[in-house]
Chains A and B, each alone.
Chain A
Amino acid sequence: MFYRESGQFKTSYRADQAIFTIPQDRIFFALFMLMAYVGVPLIASDYLYTALIIPFLCLSLAALGLNILTGYCGQLSLGTGAFMGVGAVSAWNLAYRIPDLNILVVFILAGLITAAVGMFFGLPSMRIKGFYLAVATLAAQFFLPWLFVKWGWLTNHNSSGVITAPQLELFGWVINTPMEKYLFALSIVALLALAAKNLVRSNPGRQWMAIRDMDIAAEIIGIRPMVAKLSAFAVSSFYVGVAGALYLFVYLGSTEPDGFNINLSFQTLFMIIIGGLGSILGSFLGAFFILLLPIFLTRVPPMLGFEFSTALVSHLEFMVFGALIVFFLIVEPHGLARLWQIAKEKLRIWPFPY
């Protein structure tokens, strides 16, 4: 009823290949973006920006990057945290050593450096797959943070190894307030998400999915596994690298290399598992679930008027959060994105299901 498609004919290839094929989706998405660009800045507080939305944007970009690799190409990776670190450290070095470099160029170059590093650590994927590959990428997770600590030049020989992001400036626009930072991060994430959406719908994406579904069959029909796998590693690492640069420059401001530890890798992996493997929307939903839901949970008992101790609230949060993960994985193993899709399908035939 709400989502009725009858009468909407696609009369050209263009219409058939659009990202949003029906007007309802287009309207919803347009409203959503309008909300993100206009609505949020009108009503959001600093708390909302700096504590919730900006980290959400950074981590959903990282999850998106990992989703390209794991969800679309089927290559399990546990090195996301380290690759974010590569992005952050290289962006910092570029900005520090070439002060006049445009910040967008810094981000792109940082992404490219991370892509190169990611490809290098993706080489074992030629020979091994599945859990074995996960362990091989774990090597990146241990090696890279170690390198940031040992190679003093990377942190300009700072005694404690902490790097501090410079002032953000884009064509004379000084990005200072939380709202400006939010808009900056939102634009980058929106652009990259659009690029990812198109990428996975075109030739490279189809190659990745073929490799994911059955690599031998893919090879037989003429897909070169090396090109497909390494391009997935490169694109994925590019996204993760930019996410790392955003994480340092826009969100934290300064951090130590140890901040890009294995917990971050696990966190992003859980995001895409909960959100939905092989789904752009899933990366965002997963980031919301893993990052923001626990914070909301800590607020529930006080909101209901319970005066629990901080420790109890925190333990409750762990319990409820754990239970929710189990619940969602049982109800829909394909993630929140799939739930969203099912909801849309149900709305299509509501109120007369057949």
Chain B
Amino acid sequence: MNARQWVASVVMGASLAGAAFAASAQEQMIPSMVYRTGPYAPSGIPVADGYQDFITLINQREGGINGVKLRVEECETQYNTERGVECYERLKALGGTIFSPYSTGITYALIDRAPADKAVIFSMAYGRASATVGNIFPWVFTAPITYWGGASAGIQYFASQLGGKDKLKGKKIAYVYIDIAYGKEPIPVFQNYAQELGFQLELVPVPAPGLEQKSIWLQIRQMRPDFVYLQGWGAMNAVSLKEAAAVGFPREKMLGVWYSSQDSDTQAAGAAAKGYKGLTFHGASRDLPILKQLKEVVLDKGLASNGAKHFGEIGYLRGALNALFVVEALRTAQEKFGKGKVMDGEQSRWGFENINFTEEKINKMGLQGFIAPMKLSCDNHLGDGKALVVQWQGDQWKPVSDWIEPEHPKLWPLYLRDAEAYAREKNIASRVCAKS
């Protein structure tokens, strides 16, 4: 039995290598790590659909990138780290160059593998915040924002609600978070702000998976915070909203980070979610021009992934944005390394580092309201993107703020400090970048 197993796996490995060779000749393979099943599927499905549909849009409308067809290869991770690593290796063997794992655990496991594999890890607004420092993490991109940026944007939004940053003095902000790496990530930023602006910060950890929060919200009611910043995940978010409603905490004063403010969260909370606000790093409303294009070219022709059940949802837009970055990186890379060619890992990375969404380009591509101008570089893998506050209307999200720019000058020293600590620990030399 054992011998047979080995033979089977060997044959499989060989056929994989063969497939990779054949595929790379005419088309660019676009890996898509998804979770359409498992406990977090409600978050995963819209993202996977949006990602796939945007690639279909590029293929249908422009015939790919300068004639290179894009072929999406999905792999189901079930939000499980072991399966995620398996997917990454599988898709890499098929010729994938840019990977978006959509899970903190998988991202962390891949960060260490990326340099040896020459694979781009694009953890769009999740994963390790300090991977923003391109000198130390050459293969990881965090554009357009990190959880730290989210915290900074949230504080600024609260300040603008009160009429100025000085008004935050003496106020109370509760940070309600799921007690895993993802939730703990922005705590230092909140602490710095609390010190600087003189508000009182209440840290309220919710043990994972956060399905029981009664006592926590009673505690919050006693604290009487002026604002609540929520960083939950999965089913926890809807529970938070329901419990907030139960103790009568106004939803308008609750701001959720992007993974706490998706349609699946608010739909699950029902009426309790109305008025709740969320941060996004891209435009989110049903009348965006990008959605019109997707509807015309993909949806109306019946090409939408999964029957367009989640068309226009915030997760769907997020998937589309992820694909937009991937396509733009490949397009930029082709401009340097040869139009109409298939890009490898190294070239994809160069493309990523030279992404430049100017105002003019955004208008030309019909992305108005979807993204803010940003520019990536060798040492800046973040692009210093902006955030937007949206409010749940009961059936959809509506923007209620302008683009908010996180205070990047304050965050960068933190990124650098954390990245340098990582470099010391791992004994990695910092890469020298041309000044940007």
State which residues 81-102 of B face A: CB under 8 Å.
81-83, 85-86, 88-90, 92-93
The reply to whether A254 and B109 form a contact with Cβ atoms under 8 Å apart is: yes
Docked pose: A343 CA to B93 CA in angstroms:
36
- Assembly CA distance A96 to B8 (angstroms): 40
Q: A39-B6, A299-B12 in contact; A253/B48 too (CB < 8 A)?
A: no
Considering the complex, give the chain A residue whose CB is closest to the CB of B34. A310
Tell me whether B40 is interfacial, beta carbon within 8 Å: no
- A164 and B83 contacting across the interface, CB-CB below 8 Å: no
Once the chains bind, are A50 and B13 in contact (CB under 8 Å)?
Answer: no
For the complex formed, measure the closest distance between the CB of B37 and the CB atoms of chain A, giving whole angstroms. Answer: 4
Q: Does B361 contact A (CB under 8 A)?
A: no
- Residue B188 interfacial (CB < 8 Å): yes
A256: chain B residues at CB < 8 Å are 104-105, 108, 180-181
Do A166 and B426 touch (CB < 8 A)?
Answer: yes
In the complex, whether B169 has a CB less than 8 A from a CB of chain A is: no
- A45, CB-defined interface residue at 8 Å: yes
The dominant DSSP class at the B interface is helix
Residues on A with beta carbons closer than 8 Å to the beta carbon of B422:
164
CA distance A315 to B207 in the complex (A): 29
Segment from B110-118, B236-244, B330-338 that makes contact with A: B110-118
- Say yes or no: A258-B181 contact (C-beta < 8 A), given A51-B90, A167-B426: yes
Which of the residues B34, B37, B75, B89 comes within 8 Å of A315, measured between beta carbons?
A: B37
Q: Say whether B81 contacts A255, CB under 8 Å.
A: yes
Query: A160 and B184: CB pair below 8 A?
Result: yes
Among B48, B85, B181, B207, residue most surrounded by chain A Cβ atoms (within 10 Å):
B181
A149 near B425 with CB under 8 A, answer no
C-alpha gap A310/B49 in the complex (Å): 11
Which of A50, A167, A311 meets B427, CB within 8 Å? Answer: A167
How many residues of A are in contact with the other chain, CB < 8 A? Answer: 52
Q: Which single member of B93, B105, B207, B425 contacts A47 (CB below 8 Å)?
A: B93
Q: Which of A198-256 contact B (CB under 8 A)?
A: 251-256
Q: How far is the CA of A35 from the CA of B2 in the complex (A)?
A: 11
Is A52 among interface residues, defined by CB-CB distance under 8 A? yes
Assuming the contacts A149-B179, A256-B181, asked whether A51 and B10 have C-beta atoms less than 8 A apart, the reply is no
**Quick one: closest B residue to A295, CB to CB?**
B86
Q: Is A162 an interface residue (CB 8 A)?
A: yes
Contact status B9-A52, CB under 8 Å = yes
Which B residues from 1 to 31 make CB contacts under 8 A with A?
1-3, 5-6, 8-10, 12-14, 16-17
* Chain B residues within an 8 Å CB radius of A51: 85-86, 88-90
Distance between Cα atoms of A162 and B187 in the complex (Å):
14
When A164-B425, A167-B427, A310-B76 are in contact, do A254 and B9 touch as well, CB less than 8 Å?
Answer: no
**Does A116 lie at the interface of the complex (its beta carbon under 8 Å from any beta carbon of B)?**
no
**Cα A288 to Cα B5 with chains together (Å):** 9
Is B306 an interface residue, CB under 8 A from the partner? Answer: yes
Q: How far is the CA of A296 from the CA of B10 in the complex (A)?
A: 12
- Chain A residue at smallest Cβ distance from B80: A263
CB-nearest residue of chain A to B11: A43
For B208, the chain A residues whose CB sits under 8 A away are 258, 261
Q: Does chain A have a CB within 8 A of B123?
A: no
Looking at the assembled complex, report how far the CB atom of A88 sits from the nearest CB atom of chain B, in whole angstroms.
13
Q: Is A311 in contact with B37, judged by CB distance below 8 angstroms?
A: yes
A79 within 8 A of B: no
Query: Is A55 touching B13 in the complex (CB atoms < 8 A)?
Result: no
Whether A159 and B184, one on each chain, are in contact in the complex, defined by CB atoms closer than 8 angstroms, is yes
What A residues does B418 contact at CB under 8 A? 159
Provide the residues of chain A in CB contact with B53, threshold 8 Å: none
Q: Check B128 for interface membership: any CB of A closer than 8 A.
A: yes
A161: chain B residues at CB < 8 Å are: 180-181, 184
Report the Cα distance A47→B184, complex, angstroms: 32
Question: A40 on the interface (CB 8 Å rule)?
Answer: yes
CB nearest neighbor in A for B9: A48
Residue of B10, B34, B82, B180 touching A258 (CB-CB under 8 A): B180
Give A102-154 interface residues, CB cut-off 8 Å to B: 146, 149
A172 to B2, CA, bound (A): 34
Closest CB in chain B relative to A148 CB, distance in Å? 11
Q: List the A residue with the shortest CB-CB distance to B182.
A: A160
- Residues of chain A contacted by B89 (CB below 8 angstroms): 46-47, 50-51
**Complex: how many Å from CA A288 to CA B208?**
29
The 10 nearest A-B residue pairs measured at CB: A253-B112, A51-B89, A311-B36, A256-B181, A160-B181, A51-B86, A258-B180, A310-B74, A314-B37, A47-B89
Interface CB pairs A-B, < 8 A, 23: A43-B10, A46-B89, A51-B85, A51-B88, A51-B89, A159-B188, A159-B418, A160-B184, A162-B128, A164-B422, A166-B425, A252-B108, A254-B109, A254-B112, A255-B105, A256-B104, A258-B105, A258-B180, A295-B83, A295-B86, A310-B36, A310-B48, A340-B1
**Given A45-B93, A161-B180, A253-B111, 20 additional A-B pairs, CB 8 A:** A43-B14, A45-B14, A45-B17, A47-B13, A47-B93, A48-B9, A50-B85, A55-B85, A159-B184, A159-B187, A161-B181, A162-B181, A166-B427, A167-B427, A288-B5, A291-B82, A296-B12, A310-B74, A310-B75, A314-B76
Please give the residue numbers on chain A whose beta carbons come within 8 Å of chain B beta carbons, in ascending order: 32, 35, 39-40, 43-48, 50-52, 55, 96, 146, 149, 159-162, 164-167, 176-177, 251-256, 258-259, 261, 285, 288, 291, 295-296, 298-299, 309-311, 313-315, 318, 340, 343
